[in-house]
């Protein structure tokens, strides 16, 4: 009998109850016991919802207090030594210390979860002596069974993926660490088996990346060990985000089933299935509903896909599921009352995707006659949006097509531009700047809320924003910053702000998703052709520049980041969407320049997260991502200095593409990875202006002058001092006033030390 399954459910709650509980606990407004009760109720409500909707295999242990990779590390007692963890269950003070840092210890590195906008905490293995602190999957299984009568499916991050995503060991130590962790995984599984657990989902998304022969051998060792230890336990080896590498090797592993992504990995997985077949005695978890996108599925097309799959897999061995965890989509469209019916009818969030899973499962089991109306309804909704005026703007389509005629580039090479810019700006050695945003206090948020509700007039709100700009222009001058920013007090989110001012975007009321920790974002929806409507940032930037003799940077979000941090339409290529965005942003860049703004920062923190997981597709993506950036920035004068910013990623394998963007100055997050990015520049020459973030803005601690001085000096060993800038690693919107000012004062002090030591260069 065909069954339905979910791979994971959003943690945050329909009203972001999870986020609110975490932040209340961190602020000391919630006792730990009450905090635990609140999170339990949120967790159970999610399980209850899946139960009521009729999902057959409901995941447990997918819920987290912060991050599922951090949970796995904590379960094995892998806590960095600097947190003085003494064994047994990891207390919340230590758990959150690893994630967020403490007064005395820096947080662990945070980076992107494959090619998504979710961030995980990177486990640090150096100095660790792994033990089982508590069997988290077993605890979650018992809770679901005892409280709700649910025979849950525990979810565990697999050992190969866990180790591949960890740091603090050499390549030669990989197998030693694997041999250390394997007995612990075996104990977890034995206890689950002894409890009567039927199905266990072991997530190995690393299998969609390139695997070596050694990796395949490790997989064989891992899953043969599990099969021998728990022969009666039904293990599903789950992959997602792409098609698996080494398909023939993977399906020979001794597990009960395999979960494959037939959305983002459709072509590769389907081709492999046709070429190599599928074991007759195994279960196929068919990920046919998109776990990452928000568009309603064509039930007709999904049933056709399932029909194709059943040529290779017996229906009774088929499990209909999402392509990945639903962690990456909002909770429900139910309360989205402000969207046009044309758009809302075409959307599906987590709850609606659960309904689609159940509907497809029902159609396979009982035939399509009973669900014909639902099938036709999905057809109508998709067709209505596709035929809308917003998706068929010939003016935009023709203009963007014309951009493909030649490669966009600045009129002169960087060396000549740099000389002209230095003559114009007369900047000191090691110019200091910030990334763009300054603290958005409760007062700022309240003012915006009053304005949005109509309780403040536009004039009142604009006056308030100017007051904030005045305060921070003065503060930056007092602190000694060389290149200033206006602070972005008028902006809620760096993508949403621009989407609200461009055609082709829609905004939801409840489309929240988790980005990292309690940080939730509400991505815009790019549903139509993107077009420039009018100036978006000129007024505030021009005002800020009028308040100081120092240069003020115009601040824009780049085309690739807007695209990667939005939910995008799926009827045209992402490349075409990027070019539409770039063309619109070019018009804003030109407007800033015409208003007298001679430094313009076009942020692209999300370039790398859009990088395809398949190596053979990466060069093509980077080529059009670079082209989109250059389309947006190439028409300015030689003396106009283009900045960009990137963060939260591994950059060593795309230095050439970063250089090809031809930004005059790039700032890159490096502090949270403890300067490891600098190693990339020890191996690669970089000839453009660059600022490596010298302190972590995501931790509340104030870094010392000595810490930042050490970071600066290491960078100067491998980068041209005459092209080196000094800045924080990211925007300062989420930080408090006092810590921000203290940190920036220390940054300027560290800069002065560096200037004194390198004065001969001036």
Q: What is the block-wise mean pLDDT of the chain (762 residues), using blocks of 10 residues?
A: 96 96 97 98 98 98 98 98 90 96 92 91 95 98 98 98 97 97 98 98 98 98 98 98 97 98 98 97 98 96 97 96 98 96 97 98 92 92 95 94 84 95 96 93 91 94 95 97 95 90 96 95 95 97 97 97 95 96 98 98 90 94 96 97 81 82 89 60 80 80 91 87 92 88 95 92 67
- Contacts (Cβ under 8 Å, ≥6 apart) of 745: 479
Confirm whether 398 is domain-assigned: no
The answer on 432 and 359 residing in a single domain is no
542 secondary structure, DSSP code: H
Neighbours of 264 (CB within 10 A): 23
> What backbone torsions phi and psi does residue 704 show, to the nearest 5 degrees?
-80, 160
Reduced to 3 states, what is the DSSP secondary structure of residue 200? strand
200 shares its domain with 85: yes
Known binding residues for L-methionine:
435-437, 488, 603
Q: Model's pTM, two decimal places?
A: 0.90
Q: Is residue 570 part of a domain?
A: yes
For residues 365 and 504, membership in a common domain is answered with no
Whether 400 maps to a domain, the answer reads no
CB 599 within 8 A of CB 551: yes
Residue 717 lies in a domain: yes
What's the CATH code of the domain at 635?
3.20.20.210
Of 46, 264, 643, 698, the catalytic one is 698
Residues 465 and 322 in one domain: no
Indicate the annotated binding residues for L-homocysteine.
435-437, 488, 603
Tell me the residue range of the domain where 499 lies: 413-761
698 is known as an active-site residue: yes
Residue 642 and residue 588 share a domain: yes
The contacts of residue 74 (CB under 8 Å, 6+ apart) are 90, 95, 98, 133
CA separation for the pair 559, 582 (Å, rounded): 5
**Own/partner pairs, 20-25, CB within 8 angstroms, 24+ separation:** 22/65, 22/66, 22/517, 22/518, 23/518, 25/92
What is the per-residue pLDDT for 651? 66
- Residues β-bridged to residue 202: 156, 237
- Exposure class string for 567-596: b at 16+ Cβ within 10 A, else e: bbbeeeebbbbbbbbbbbbbbbbebbbeee
User: Do 488 and 731 touch, CB atoms closer than 8 A?
Assistant: yes
Same-domain pairing of 433 and 372:
no
* Residues 378 and 419 placed together within one structural domain of the fold: no
Domain boundary among 386, 403, 424: 386
* 397 belongs to a structural domain: no
Return the pLDDT at 730: 86
Counting the structural domains of the chain, the total is: 2
The verdict on residue 581 lying in a domain is yes
pLDDT at 719: 87
Q: Are 172 and 253 members of one domain?
A: yes
Last residue of a domain, one of 343, 367, 386: 386
Within a domain: residue 403?
Answer: no
Binding annotation: 16-19, 112, 117, 435-437, 488, 519-520, 565, 603, 609, 645, 647, 669, 730
Residues 330, 422, single domain; the answer is: no
Q: What pLDDT is stored for residue 648 in this prediction?
A: 52
510 assigned to some structural domain = yes
The answer on 593 and 480 residing in a single domain is yes
pLDDT at 279: 97
| Three-class HEC string of 119-133 | EEECCECCCCCCCCC
- Asked if residue 591 and residue 483 are part of one domain, the reply reads yes
Is there a single domain that holds both residue 453 and residue 347? no
């Amino acid at each position: 009998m065909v069954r339905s399954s979910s791979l994971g459910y959003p943690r945050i709650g329909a009203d972001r109850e999870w986020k609110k509980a975490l932040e209340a606990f961190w602020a000391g407004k919630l006792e730990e016991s009450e905090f635990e009760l609140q999170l339990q109720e949120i967790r159970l409500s999610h399980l209850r919802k899946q139960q009521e909707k009729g999902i057959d295999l409901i995941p447990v242990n997918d819920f987290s207090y912060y991050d599922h990779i951090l949970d796995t590390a904590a379960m094995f007692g892998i806590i960095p030594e600097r947190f003085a963890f003494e064994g047994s269950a990891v207390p919340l003070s230590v758990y959150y210390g690893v994630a967020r840092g403490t007064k005395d210890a820096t947080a662990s590195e945070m980076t992107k979860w494959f090619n998504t906008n979710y961030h995980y905490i990177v486990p640090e293995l150096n100095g660790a002596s792994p033990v089982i602190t508590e069997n988290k999957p077993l605890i979650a299984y018992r809770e679901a069974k005892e409280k709700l009568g649910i025979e849950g499916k525990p979810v565990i991050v697999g050992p190969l993926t866990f180790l591949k995503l960890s740091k603090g060991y050499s390549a030669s130590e990989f197998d030693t660490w694997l041999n250390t962790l394997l007995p612990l995984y075996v104990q977890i599984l034995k206890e689950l088996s002894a409890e009567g657990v039927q199905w266990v989902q072991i997530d190995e998304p690393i299998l969609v990346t390139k695997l070596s022969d050694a990796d395949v051998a490790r997989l064989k060792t891992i899953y043969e060990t599990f099969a021998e230890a728990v022969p009666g336990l039904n293990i599903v080896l789950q992959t997602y985000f792409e098609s698996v590498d080494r398909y023939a090797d993977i399906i020979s592993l001794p597990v009960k089933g395999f979960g494959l992504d037939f959305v983002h990995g459709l072509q590769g997985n389907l081709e492999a299935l046709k070429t190599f077949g599928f074991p007759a005695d195994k279960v196929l978890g068919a990920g046919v509903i998109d776990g990452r996108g928000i568009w309603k599925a064509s039930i007709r097309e999904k049933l056709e896909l399932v029909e194709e799959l059943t040529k290779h897999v017996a229906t009774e061995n088929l499990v209909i599921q999402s392509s990945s965890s639903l962690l990456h989509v909002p909770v429900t469209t139910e309360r989205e009352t402000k969207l046009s019916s044309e758009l809302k009818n075409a959307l599906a969030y987590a709850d609606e995707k659960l309904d689609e899973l159940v509907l497809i499962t029902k159609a396979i089991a009982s035939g399509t006659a009973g669900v014909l109306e639902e099938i036709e309804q999905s057809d109508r909704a998709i067709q209505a949006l596709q035929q809308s005026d917003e998706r068929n703007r010939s003016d935009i389509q023709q203009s963007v097509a014309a951009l493909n005629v030649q490669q966009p580039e600045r009129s002169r090479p960087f060396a000549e531009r740099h000389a002209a810019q230095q003559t114009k700006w007369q900047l000191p050695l090691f110019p200091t700047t910030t990334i763009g945003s300054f603290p958005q206090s409760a007062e700022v948020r309240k003012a915006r809320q009053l304005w949005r509700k109509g309780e403040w007039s536009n004039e009142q709100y604009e006056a308030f924003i100017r007051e904030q700009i005045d305060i921070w222009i003065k503060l930056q001058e007092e602190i000694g910053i060389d290149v200033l920013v206006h602070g972005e007090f008028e902006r809620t989110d760096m993508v949403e702000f621009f989407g609200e001012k461009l055609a082709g975007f829609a905004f939801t009321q409840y489309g929240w998703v988790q980005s990292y920790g309690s940080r939730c974002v509400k991505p815009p929806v790019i549903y139509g052709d993107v077009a420039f409507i009018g100036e978006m940032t000129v007024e505030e930037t021009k005002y800020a520049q009028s308040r100081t003799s120092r240069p003020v940077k115009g601040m824009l979000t780049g085309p690739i980041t807007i695209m990667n941090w939005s939910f995008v339409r799926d009827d045209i290529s992402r490349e075409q969407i990027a070019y539409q965005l770039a063309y619109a942003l070019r018009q804003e860049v030109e407007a800033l320049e015409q208003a007298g703004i001679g430094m313009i920062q076009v942020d692209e923190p999300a370039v790398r997260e859009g990088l395809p997981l398949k190596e053979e597709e990466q060069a093509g993506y980077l080529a059009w991502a670079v082209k989109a950036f250059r389309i947006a920035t190439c028409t300015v004068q030689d003396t106009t200095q283009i900045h960009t910013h990137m963060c939260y990623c591994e950059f060593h394998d795309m230095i050439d593409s970063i250089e090809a963007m031809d930004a005059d100055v790039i700032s890159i997050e490096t502090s949270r990875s403890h300067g490891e990015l600098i190693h990339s520049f020890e191996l690669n020459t970089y000839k453009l202006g660059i600022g490596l973030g010298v302190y972590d803005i995501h931790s509340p601690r104030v870094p010392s002058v000595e810490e930042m001085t050490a970071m600066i000096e290491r960078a100067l060993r491998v980068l041209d001092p005459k092209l080196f800038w000094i800045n924080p690693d990211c925007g300062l919107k989420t930080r408090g006033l006092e810590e921000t000012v203290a940190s920036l004062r220390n940054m300027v002090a560290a800069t002065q030390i560096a200037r004194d030591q390198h004065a001969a260069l001036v």
